[in-house]
Structure 1
Amino acid sequence: MSASEIVHVSLGERSYDIVLGQDLIANAAAAINPWLAEKGLGKGTARGVVIADRNVSGHARVVANHLQAAGWDISVAEVDPGEASKNLGMASRLYDALVQLKTDRKTAIIAVGGGVIGDLAGFVAATFNRGLPFIQIPTTLLADVDSSVGGKVGINHPSAKNLIGAFHQPFGVLIDTDCLKTLPRREYRSGLAEVVKYGVILDADFFGWLEQNAEALLEQQPGPLRHAIARSCQLKAMVVEQDEFERTGLRAALNYGHTYAHAFEALAGYGELLHGEAVSIGMVCASRLAERLGRIPAEMTARQIELLKRCELPVAIPENLKVRGPELVECMRLDKKSVAGKLRFVLPTKLGHVELVEGIDEAEVLAVIEAC
């Protein structure tokens, strides 16, 4: 096992570590056993259920085999890959499996996979038996830097993404960057959108670093890749520590571009646009909206577009969605940031800073859709 880097998420009794490095999943017990012990579960808790999608069954087997070799009683539950599995029906099937396995409150749920698996397995862990220990082992860049950190778990409703969910912090997050070597190139690029997002919303210097290292990240050069993931996790942890349950509005900053993006995903049908691709387009839309409202100069939008293009990400709304502007707006009303159906958007004021803005004229939102 190579040397690893640790990012700590400080949340009192719900605190946990993100361990980042190479060749980590083949020695998963070395990280997971201390996490369980720290939570008072001790050596007697050596029972777990690995939940994974079939695309990463190889990684899931590595984790399960190592835990078994370390004395764990391990079961594996696999689901179909993709957003279509993140629903109440799939959660119910997993509940049935846990009942058959006689899962108790000391059984750890171990999510191995991308954001869909992390959200789905986390939701099952949060709701089965009023809460089970939960471990995140993300295998995609998107999950590494976003969904695996912060404790937001959930499933989709036919009307809106992530509408049903909970806050359920993991006991720890294990990020093995070697897993990214097996990731399809499109999926990997999708994750870069969330990395770019952190620079826009929280760290102008990091955005500048990304501009200098975009090609290195595309090539998955180990040093730049590790720095990008670690810095993204640090920035997200900083926000989560201050607004764990999204009560102050600070955590809403992490949803920059997502109001548009979630509407694109819902109307396109989950899966047509990858989440990061939708976020990339959504960030451009949000930036153009901020431009129209006189909050930022056009140059800031141009820099985002240029960096996203260098990351080989889309920056324009597909034509089949652009013509459905009013429907997109209706989807946005179901966004978690909306209040009584009134639209609210996370908009930049300068590079490295965003604000939650309400009272925006619907015509402006539609105009951006037509322009993008």
Structure 2
Amino acid sequence: MIKVLVFGMTETPGGVESVIMNYYRHIDRTRIQFDFLCNSYEKVAYEAELLALGGHTFHFPARSKNYPRYRLELKCFFREHAAEYAVIWVNICSLANIDYLKLAAQYGIPKRIIHSHSSANMDGRLRGLLHQHNKKQIGRFATDFWACSAEAAGWFYPSEICSQAVILHNAIDVQCMAYDENGRENIRRQLGWQNQFVIGNVGRLHFEKNQRFALEVMAALVRKDRSVRLVLVGQGEDESELREQIFRKGLQEYVYMAGVQSNIRDWLSSFDLFLFPSVFEGLPVAAMEAQANGVPVLASEDVIPDEVRMNKNIKMLSLQQPPEIWAEAVCEMKEWFVRENPEDIWEHFIQSGYEIEHVKDEFEQRILGEKA
């Protein structure tokens, strides 16, 4: 059995965390075992499950909070433990910090995978500059270059590396996200929204996910139809600002902020429409899970790549269109868009290569070095 050191788990369950967990749950753990570097002293998402599956978590401070201690603890860890690992798998959305790869190279971890999960800068100007600087030298420290999509590879890597990058699908467990009638009824009963048209969004509360625009759409919708409701599932930096926006627009009766939820299948099942107005994505896991559930999706143009539009009940709109146009689109979809048939969904995911049981073998082969 080989041991893999994984970076990418944070305190908040999001898209990257879901990708890591989907592969970890389905690989042959008698051949491959994961341990996790966590840049927080708090428990990370799914930590209890990580430990139950046989992994270990190693916590250290975030670089931004205590840089001297971060450097000291990280260097001590690699000096003492690097020899235990054949592979490091670094899952990030920006190259602003590649210390993990540098130390892995310095202390002799032979296979060093960098995995891009975004197609644009999600952070501020400084981190954007750091990304561009490290982009020029990433080839010195990583041995393998992965990305969730061609767009993510193109933004992340210099051209000479981009051409050799491996596109590894953000595959999901379709059955785990399949529509569940009992889950739908339970959530809607809890909310007291059994007879409402419920719109949902799942994701980190962050400008990239554009929940602020979703609230603008909701304000326009309420003027047309007071039976609509919106659920925002997730947490993040924009939470207080979004709450203020809800209050300012008088949407308290119409919007529910659910926070972090573990039963995403039930929440997706409770939705009548999935609203996905992201500014940009690498490859949107939340939209993939929504499609696995079969719920109709209204998304911003060019965010869900053509190859991962699994279902027919998806409508795309430009973010250049005002919220009122998005509200009209919701009203139209309310009239005639229905949930996709589960058997069709299953076939779509398998044929497209995004069902985890059908792609985990390739992942294992790449980790083990059995596939170039």
TM-score w.r.t. the length of structure 2 is: 0.31
Pair member with larger Rg: 2
TM-score, structure 1 length as denominator?
Answer: 0.31
